[in-house]
Amino acid sequence: MIYPSLDDLLSRVDSRYSLVILAAKRARQLREMQSNLEEGLTLKEVSAALDEISKGKVTFERIKDGIK
């Protein structure tokens, strides 16, 4: 079984497109933080980003030019 589920993730955002953009941006942030700290994460960056979105730790704001 895939965790977090797609249904749970989609309940946090308004579309699949928003989910992909939000997860990609957060994964990049995690990768940059990891390289700065030089400590390994237990999860891959994308998995960690999706987990944070599922738990509501990461949100987004829709702006005119895209997602913030």
Query: Could you list the pLDDT tens digit for every one of the 68 residues in the chain?
Result: 467 888 999 999 989 999 999 999 999 999 888 766 655 555 688 999 999 999 999 888 888 777 76
Distance CA 68, CA 61 (A): 5
Helix (H) or strand (E) holding 11: helix 6-12
Cβ neighbours of 53 (radius 10 Å): 21
pTM above 0.95, yes or no: no
